[in-house]
Every structure is written in structure tokens, then in C-alpha cells.
Structure 1
Amino acid sequence: MTTTTTAVRERHILRVHFHLATEDPDLYDALLDVLTTLTPLVQRLPPSAADLDVTGSLRLFDCDAAALGRLLQVRVMALHGVTTSIGAAPNRMLAAMAADATPPGDLTTLPAEPDALTRFLRPRPVAALPGIGPATARTLNKHGIHHLGTLADTPLLTLQRLLGTAQGRQLHERAHGQDPRPVTVQAPAPSLSATHPYDHDELDPAAHRRTLLALTEDLGLRLRTTGQIATTLVLTVRYADRTTTTRSRTLTEPTHHSPALAAAAHDLYTRLGLQRARVRALTLRAEGLLTAQDATRQLSLDPDDDRTRAAEAAADRVRARFGPTAAVPAALARPDRTTSPRLRADARKKEQRR
């Protein structure tokens, strides 16, 4: 009997960071077009990054991943004048970490050799590992796990007791440099929007702000439910004369956290300086959507932030069981003409049942 074995081909992934002065969706799309001249396997990470699987391109270009990355940097600079930082590694997580550690205009290569990966990973703080947020980092630190080397040495069952079965296993694998996620070719990033039309010309800024709060609650819940985060928030104001004003903001950190979306929306509104404008509708749109598992959250030392997120998660569980209006911010607890149509309709149903 003949036994046939199939060798697993080593992957070669590039993480590219574009150093853009301002967010420019058209330029971002043009930069992605440059990437596809090297490989069709390009995953968008807007507003300024992308992953490439160049495994099949190395033979075509007769070079290694580092040389292909250098070629990419030259093409991007020559065609668009944009500086890049590139990480080259055997998987997406390692490529992302390498790119994060790379200054503008440079390239960092992580070979597949276990010793090289160990030297790169072990000294780094646990917060540097994709998938570890502030709360998880604090939990690990509290148990004496401060660096990835210690995390890698911690038994899997111990991590699962501390963090839960799924997260414990994922972080155990990532601490050992493992990440099986493929580079997924995606269509241009979609968006989610929420609109509130007023029954009459609304001049009251306080009413506008309550509406924005309701809209961000709606968007945040939909983003969290679908496992997505937004990189950009867009506010459109429609006036009584049917003209509109649109302003956008690239979020400091991609998020689906409703308070963060509300703060950005209120800032956009404040910058418009509407005073007593006759507003007929407000629309908020979340753009540049990413899957939540591909994102990392900046380390925060504010305990109130973790408490707010925990409360939000609890409220989401209540909404999932009893409906979207079962838990709302205090400012929206008494539905009136300034809240969303969904909240008003639910309030009317409750009154009828009484």
C-alpha cells in the first residue's frame, strides 16, 4: 500500500499600512488597485491598511516576500506619493504585529523559523497581541502574566479558566504565533445608516442631540449584533428647504461602542454651528465597516470605560431577549417626539396594552 502525504505550503502574508495625511476613500481605492497588481488576494482594512496573501506571487515575480514588499513600496510611492510600512510574515497576525513595529518607509520580515518567531513574540507586552483589550490585559496582569512569553508558557486550561474557553484557546494559539485566518477578498466596505425624520421643522438643539443619541444607540446595537465596527461616522442634516449639509469624522479608534459613536456624532453636530436651523431630518451613517475580530482596542487605564462597556453588553443581552427598547439611555427613557420612530411605536403599544 502506498501512502501519499501532502506538504502544507508555507504562507507569505504582507500587512501594508498607508501613511495618509487625511482620510481619502478615493485614494485608498487607488492604492488597493496597486496592491492587486501583485496578487488578487487583497483584504481591505480601511481607512489605511490592507492584507495581501503573496504566497502564489513569489514564483511569478521570482523573489521572496521582502523583495515583493519593497517593490510594492516603490510602486505606491511612484504612483501616488504615499509612504508605507510593511510587515511580512507567515500569517496575518504576525504580519500585523510586524507592520505595527515598523517605521514609515521601512519593512520588517518575520521568517517562519520557530526561534525567530519566539525572539519576536516573547518580550512583547500582552497588550500587543491582537485580540487582547484593556480588560483582558488587566486580568492577565493581575495573575502575573505581563509578557507574551509568560502567556505562551501558561497552560491552556489555566487560560480558559481565566478568560473562557474560546478566548483562552485563541490567545494561547496566538501567543505561540498561530493564526489560521485566510486573507479574504472583499467588496468595498459597506455602511449602515439610521435616519430620523421630524414631523415638523425642529429648531431645538436639545431635541437634535436627543435624536443623535437615539440614532447612535440604534447604529451601535446593529453593529454589535452583526459583529462589525465602524471606522468613520457621517452626519447628514436635511433642512426645511430640502438642502443638506454633510460632515464626516474618522474615529480615533474603530468601534461599535454606542457612547463613543454618540460623542463623535455630537462633536460633528456642534461643529456645524446650526443654532436655530429648521431641521427636517438627521441621518447618521457608519462607514468603513470591519469585522470586530480583526480589530484591536487601545489600552485604556480608565475603569469607567470598562464599566460602561460591561453595562452595554448587559443591556444588549436584555434587548436580545425582550426587544430593542427594553434597555435605553436615561435621556431616552421617556419616549417623546425627539426619539426614534421605533421607540415611539413601542411606547404606543405599551400604552395600548395598559
Structure 2
Amino acid sequence: MAHQRAILRIHFHHGGNEDLYHQLLTVLDGISPRWQAQPPTAADHDVTGALKYFDRHPRDLGLLIALRTAALYGVQTTIGGGNSILIAAMAADATPPGRITIVDPTPDAIAAFLNPRPVHALPGIGPATATLLTRHGLHTIGALADTPLLTLQRLLGKATGREIADRARGHDPRPVTPGSAPASRSARHDFPYDELDPLQHRRALLALAEQLGADLRATRDVAGTLTLDVRYADRSHTTRTRSLPEATNHSAALTHAAFRIYDQLGLQRARVRSITLRASALRPAAAAHHQLLLDASDDKARRLEKAADTARARFGPDAVFPASLAPSP
């Protein structure tokens, strides 16, 4: 008899070291080659075929991955598992660092795991959508699952309503697509406490975009997409990815794109723990085309950026930075 799907979501606590992250992914090959990178810290791992080969429960395979990762690289992992990417990801988010949570693939076990959780814990529901749902009395995923589809579609739209209804019942047919980690660069800001001030969120985003832009220019790369990941005080998170109008390493363009993604999340009252900004779909800058603008300010900004990069290369990364990032007197 064929095994039900068994998916693990693995979070590597590698301190943001991108080179180490790529090495950690090779550990997964020793269990099953069916893994998909989720930069900058995670991976989805389909271990369905490995269950029979190792004659082990998914929890045992997760423990084996954690053991090998710790023994070979000294890196701690947090692992969630279930019969879909959705359940595995949510289980990992609900798991204390260094531990493993596996949700059994039975309907009762899935419902017991999902139903008590707040609506914002369901992937795809950001703060604005969560506010809309709670305003209509839908506070938990179980309440969502019990709501008629037509009602959700009236609230959220036809396609989104159906997708949220399926996810609330644990339905997620997405496959784990094997492949190497995509070329990307990321930067992360951890707040010293749960930060509610949108001005501080935007200040952190500006610093991250400046860092990514400088890193990309140093390696002579440009990015085609930008991903914003916001993690909240309750350890849930929201991730949004946008394609850039043109591939770029211009800090101002990255900042503008990051702010637009942030504004669409509606985080005015969110308690934010950390913000990660990731540039992906990288390619050599020499192969990219910059759209010329009849705008002297754009040309001036790029000349200033080049001069700032030269100063940083000579005097260190903190030699030049935007005035709005200067420490308060």
C-alpha cells in the first residue's frame, strides 16, 4: 500500500550565512533528493519515498536530519511535518526552536491542529485580511472551515475565497519541486522588542534595501524579484514576492519596491519581531538593460550611489548611509 504524502518544513538556524545555507541543503540529499529551497533559512522536503526505504516514521527522519545538521555543521533546526506543504509549514511555525512537530495525516488530527489556531496563522492571510475576517466574527481557522464557500467568496473574492476555504480544511496539493537553491541574496533585521511603529518598520526596510543594493553592486548582479518576509510576535509570518519592473541593483529602486510591498500588507498595528528582505532571480548586471529616463535626478542618484560604494569599499560599510538612518543624538 502506498504511503500518504509526508512533507517536512525544515528551518535552519544558521545565522544568515548564505554559503552555509547552501551546504545545509546538501544534508537533505542523504534522506531524499526531493527538496525545494525556501531561502533564506528553510526548505521543504518530500520524504514520502524515504519512509519505506528507511522503514521509519516522518518524525524519525526529521530527527535524523536534525542530528546530521548539528553533527556536520553545528546548526540547530526546527522541523514541522504533515501531509502537505501547508501543514508542514504551519507545524514548523508553531514549534519551539530546536524541536519537531509532526501532524498525523488523518482528518481528525489535521482538524485538531488547524481549528483552534487564529485566522492569521493560515498562510496567505495577512493582517488586513485577518482584520476583515475577525470583523465578521471569524476568529479561528475552524470557524473559516465551517463557513460556507459562497460567504467567504463574497468577503474575499471568488478565487481567494476558494483558496482560503481549501487551506482552512488542510487541502494543499502543491508539490515539492526538486532543484538547487535559486540564486538570491537576503538581509534581515531583528527588532530588540515587538515593534508596532510603522516608521521603525520602514526605517528597517530602508536599511535592508541599502544593504542589498550595495551587496548586489559589489558582485555585479541585478535582481528580478524582491521578497518581503515579516515575522510577528506570535511567531506567525507573512511573505510577499513581487517582480521588479526591471532587474536592478539600484538601492532607491529596491527601497521603492520594498515600501510598496510593505504598504500592501497593512501592518499599522502589527507587532513585528523581524523583517527579512530577499533579492532573487539574480543575473549579471552586464546582461541587464536599464530603462533610460529623461530625469536628471535619477542620473544624479546613480552617480552618488557609485561614489558611496567607492567610499564604503575604502573606509568600510558604515562610511556612507542615508541621513534618515543616522543614530538619534
Structure 2 residue runs without a partner (length 5+): 192-200, 230-235, 240-258, 267-289, 304-329
Identity of aligned residues (%): 47
The 3 A distance-change label for structure 1 pair 262 and 43 is: same
The partner residue of 1:309 within 264, 275, 289 is 264
CA distance in 2, matches of 1:36, 1:289: 28
CA distance in 2, matches of 1:268, 1:80: 26
The partner residue of 2:59 within 40, 63, 66 is 66
Q: SS where residue 37 of structure 2 aligns? A: strand
Q: Give 2:149's aligned amino acid.
A: L
Q: Give 1:124's aligned amino acid.
A: R
The partner residue of 1:337 within 275, 299, 314 is 299
CA distance in 1, matches of 2:181, 2:175: 18
2:152 is the counterpart of 1:159: yes
Alpha-carbon contact 2:62-2:100 (below 8 Å) kept: yes
1:185-206 Cα deviation digits (max 9, x unpaired)? 1233134xxxxxxxxxxxxxxx
CA distance in 2, matches of 1:81, 1:306: 35
The 3 A distance-change label for structure 1 pair 84 and 259 is: same
- Residue of structure 1 in register with 2:250 after alignment: none
CA distance in 1, matches of 2:133, 2:42: 29
Structure 1 residue runs without a partner (length 5+): 1-6, 192-230, 233-248, 273-279, 299-303, 312-323, 342-354
1:110-135 Cα deviation digits (max 9, x unpaired)? 00111111111111000000111111
Q: Give 1:76's aligned amino acid.
A: T
1:26-69 Cα deviation digits (max 9, x unpaired)? 21111111111100101001111111000001111111111111
- Residue of structure 1 in register with 2:238 after alignment: 297
2:12 is the counterpart of 1:13: no
1:216-267 Cα deviation digits (max 9, x unpaired)? xxxxxxxxxxxxxxx61xxxxxxxxxxxxxxxx33669xxx99975452347
The 3 A distance-change label for structure 1 pair 288 and 251 is: farther
- Residue of structure 1 in register with 2:280 after alignment: none
1:87-140 Cα deviation digits (max 9, x unpaired)? 111111100111111112211110011111111111100000011111111111
Alpha-carbon contact 2:115-2:143 (below 8 Å) kept: yes
Aligned residue-pair number: 244
TM-score, normalised by the number of residues in structure 1: 0.59
- Residue of structure 2 in register with 1:199 after alignment: none
2:52 is the counterpart of 1:52: no
> RMSD of aligned C-alpha atoms?
4.0
Matches within 5 A, 1:262-273: 262-266=206-210
The 3 A distance-change label for structure 1 pair 287 and 39 is: farther
Q: Give 2:188's aligned amino acid.
A: T
The 3 A distance-change label for structure 1 pair 283 and 71 is: closer
1:286-312 Cα deviation digits (max 9, x unpaired)? 5997699xx9527xxxxx99993389x
TM-score, normalised by the number of residues in structure 2: 0.63
2:188 is the counterpart of 1:250: yes
Greater CA deviation, 36-45 or 112-121?
A: 112-121
Alpha-carbon contact 1:189-1:287 (below 8 Å) kept: no
1:164-183 Cα deviation digits (max 9, x unpaired)? 11111111000001111000
The partner residue of 2:171 within 167, 178, 203 is 178
- Residue of structure 2 in register with 1:105 after alignment: 98
Q: SS where residue 172 of structure 2 aligns? A: coil
CA distance in 1, matches of 2:170, 2:48: 18
The 3 A distance-change label for structure 1 pair 261 and 185 is: farther
Alpha-carbon contact 1:190-1:289 (below 8 Å) kept: no
Deviation at 1:79, TM superposition (A): 0.9
Computing the radius of gyration from Cα coordinates, the structure with the larger value is: 1
Q: SS where residue 130 of structure 1 aligns? A: coil
Alpha-carbon contact 1:123-1:149 (below 8 Å) kept: yes
The 3 A distance-change label for structure 1 pair 75 and 51 is: same
Matches within 5 A, 1:1-354: 9-20=3-14, 22-191=15-184, 232=186, 249-250=187-188, 262-266=206-210, 285-286=222-223, 296-297=237-238, 308-309=263-264, 335=297, 337-338=299-300
- Residue of structure 2 in register with 1:218 after alignment: none
